[in-house]
Copies of this chain bind each other. A is one copy, B any other.
């Protein structure tokens, strides 16, 4: 991160026509964008939402209330412009790209084997890295994949402990008994792969899925290219979380945009030491929470770059 750019933002904030600190997180967001864009005047001219889609062998264990073919059907719906994220991208003034990651080839069922081999994992990570377009100012990440809250819960448990019951949620609409079965499936996966769980990347390969690995790759590539990241809900955050475990500050360029109603997300956000920008009871995925937070960042940038200083406006400041 560019500490000088962040400091320049902080210094300018205190000259603007408002009581010091009164724009709250908007001031922090301007500083955060400056730090990770490496620019004293952050900008959001090119914002892109990338939604990765994948399928999961573990759906064979009955962990979702929707059938696996919905993943491909929703990819079609994204292309046709009919999904929530299409509307939200337009409101956000953001480009939208959907990247299916071998949707026709589900990962292995993690209760009976590994989700991905090391090579398959690397390939999915590379899909994500390659999806970060050069020169964008902000990357919003999202996902679609029937069964992937089970995968995300397993990965979160591997990274932060707690077992299936701590991380399993209703997903697209399980009842309480279904959540209990899902927790048991997760625990079977954790037991099966116990030997590799201490290695965050090995855990991500063993548990899956391809779209989670692609998100991981995109977050890494964004850091290298000076692009701040907005993470969406539970699955997206879990996918990026290995970076926080691997290195102190490894996720500092990525903010959780919205805390999902999916049970494990609040716990995961806390484990990462973050506070989500929004809390609106959504639990859709698709990048919906990230898209919804884009106008908040636009507001931060607009205030920072557009407001007059006390001196320019002839307003008495509170210091005297």
Question: A-side interface residues toward B, CB under 8 Å?
Answer: 16-26, 65-67, 69-70, 73-74, 76-77, 80-84, 86-88, 90-92, 172-173, 261, 277-284, 288, 291-292, 295-296, 298-299, 302-303, 306-308, 312-318, 320
Say whether, besides A83-B17, A307-B84, A77 and B173 are in contact (CB < 8 Å): no
Query: Which chain B residues lie closer than 8 Å to A69 at the CB level?
Result: 316
**11 new A-B pairs (CB below 8 Å) besides A18-B84, A82-B313, A87-B302?**
A17-B83, A17-B84, A22-B282, A24-B282, A24-B283, A77-B308, A77-B315, A80-B308, A91-B295, A91-B299, A277-B280
Contact B83 A307 (CB under 8 A): yes
Say whether, besides A173-B318, A299-B292, A24 and B280 are in contact (CB < 8 Å): yes
How far in angstroms is the closest Cβ of chain B from A37?
A: 18
Contact B315 A73 (CB under 8 A): yes
Query: Which chain B residues lie closer than 8 Å to A295 at the CB level?
Result: 91-92, 292, 295-296
Contact A25 B302 (CB under 8 A): no
Contact A80 B172 (CB under 8 A): no
Contact B25 A313 (CB under 8 A): no
**Separation of A88 and B303 alpha carbons in the complex (Å):** 7
How far in angstroms is the closest Cβ of chain B from A198?
A: 34
Q: Of B18, B86, B284, which contacts A22 at CB under 8 A?
A: B284
Say whether, besides A65-B318, A82-B308, A299-B87, A73 and B26 are in contact (CB < 8 Å): no
How far in angstroms is the closest Cβ of chain B from A217?
A: 27
**Separation of A69 and B18 alpha carbons in the complex (Å):** 14
Contact B316 A87 (CB under 8 A): no
How far in angstroms is the closest Cβ of chain B from A235?
A: 13
Query: Which chain B residues lie closer than 8 Å to A86 at the CB level?
Result: 306-307
Q: Of B172, B261, B277, B317, which contacts A24 at CB under 8 A?
A: B261
Query: Which chain B residues lie closer than 8 Å to A74 at the CB level?
Result: 17, 315
Query: Which chain B residues lie closer than 8 Å to A83 at the CB level?
Result: 17-18, 307-308, 313
**Separation of A23 and B299 alpha carbons in the complex (Å):** 23
How far in angstroms is the closest Cβ of chain B from A256?
A: 14
Say whether, besides A77-B308, A313-B77, A313-B82, A87 and B303 are in contact (CB < 8 Å): yes
